[in-house]
Amino acid sequence: MNNVIRDEKLKAALNKQYLNQPADQVITKDQLANLQGTVTLDNKEIKDLTGMSYATQITALYLNHNEIIDITPLKDMVNLRQISLMNNQIKDLRPMSSLVDLQSLNLSKNQIQSVWPLTKLKNLKTLFLDYNPLQSYDELRFMKQLTLLSMRGVGISNLAVLLPLVNLEVLYLDDNKIQSLEPLSQLYLLYQLNINGNQVHNLKPIGALKYLQMLFANQNQIENLEPLKKLKQLQFLDLNHNHIEDLTPLASVESLEALSIMNNRVKDLTPITKLPHLLALLAQGNQITSLKGIQALPIISLENQSVEWESIWVNKSEYAIELKGRLIDTNGEVPLITAISPKTVTYDVLKSRLIVNQLEPLITVFFHNQNEEIPFSGELRLSFKELE
């Protein structure tokens, strides 16, 4: 019997998982020809695919996290519908141009510079190209049949090449150099859009995406949420690490179920207190001082608030700073004051006020809500200006 598999790691994996024979047993053409369905060979240190061309009945092949450079043996595996080659060392995609029945392809984390060979694959619906050093994006114009495209970390800045992709339903564009979303305004079928880690300021183009259900836009430069009030099917919204202050536009997005606005500049949660379907709210690291109207949710966290107040120092022997009505927990009272710095400042629990006996450049007050159902904590930094 002639062994057709050169790579010892590939041979061992096939023998153990699919051929039920010793790891070092030779593998014949007939044995490979009889393999059917899905073959998964992830994390096997495989380098050489020689011989796999005889496995023509396989419909799904997973070779993630290996050391593959040459995919020439795949060109004869014409029944393949799904391939995943994530995290290898592939550069040349030309052998794939013959796989005309291919529907799903994951090529993330390789060394691919051009995807021109893939333009011949008219049945390809799902394509992952994440974290490849792509030198050109123009060929994407000829892949109008795509319904899911993932291009995380490929360096794209101009989205005009995506204009023809009118069948897209899911689009991942995280970790790029995108400033303008204008070309996306015509991708009307999108229901999920990921633009985390870009330089987006204006969300206006997204307002036209009436079927959008999920938007992930953390780590951008977003300030204005006005365009989102048109999105009547939006359910999941992630806006962490932006420059947002005003949540008022979200008051009309009644479909919203999950909202994450961590590390922004939000002070007032009132606009979202009456959203009928809201189940999750993550708002840590903002400037929130009041929980008025906030109800317990299955998932909620309002911790690590960072609040700054400025007062005018009036030269008195004792100066009182009222917290009641300004720092409000769920029962309408001042949260528990856990620490104050400097120690010369005291807290009058009965009157809910700070007592300052001398001018201090900065007073820091740490607070914590006693209602465990709604975690709320943070620090209040109070500075003074002297009257001239």
Q: Using pLDDT thresholds of 50, 70 and 90, give the confidence band for residue 304.
A: very high
| Domain 146-154+164-283 classification at class level | alpha beta
pLDDT at residue 388 greater than cutoff 60: no
Q: How far apart are CA 286 and CA 20, in angstroms?
A: 58
**315-366 tens-digit pLDDT:** 666 678 899 999 999 888 999 999 999 998 999 999 999 998 887 889 999 9
Eight-state DSSP code of residue 42: T
- Comma-separated ranges of CATH 3.80.10.10 domains in the chain: 1-136, 146-154+164-283
Q: How far apart are CA 383 and CA 302, in angstroms?
A: 24
pLDDT confidence of residue 357? 84
**Average pLDDT over the chain, rounded to an integer:** 94
SS3 for 98-122, per residue?
A: HCCCCCEEECCCCCCCCCHHHHHCC
Q: Using pLDDT thresholds of 50, 70 and 90, give the confidence band for residue 371.
A: confident
**6-58 tens-digit pLDDT:** 999 999 999 999 999 999 999 999 999 999 999 999 999 999 999 999 999 99
> What is the average per-residue pLDDT within 131-143?
95
pLDDT confidence of residue 173? 98
Q: Which residue did the predictor score with more confidence, 386 or 5?
A: 5
Percent of the chain with pLDDT over 90: 87
Q: How far apart are CA 291 and CA 289, in angstroms?
A: 7
Q: Copy the structure tokens of residue 267.
A: 């002070």
**Amino acid identity, residue 233?**
Q
Residue with tokens 């794209």: 156
For the CA atoms of 329, 333, 334, 335, the dihedral, rounded to the nearest 10 degrees, stands at -50
Instruction: Calculate the alpha carbon distances from 253 to 139, 212, 271, 321 in Å.
Output: 37, 12, 10, 38
Asked whether the beta carbons of 80 and 102 are under 8 A apart, the reply is yes
pLDDT confidence of residue 317? 62
User: What CATH number is given for 309-386 in this structure?
Assistant: 2.60.40.1220
**Fold for domain 1-136?**
3.80.10
How does DSSP assign 192-234, residue by residue?
Answer: EEE--SS-----GGGGG-TT--EEE--SS-----GGGGG-TT-
Q: Using pLDDT thresholds of 50, 70 and 90, give the confidence band for residue 174.
A: very high
- Comma-separated ranges of CATH 2.60.40.1220 domains in the chain: 309-386
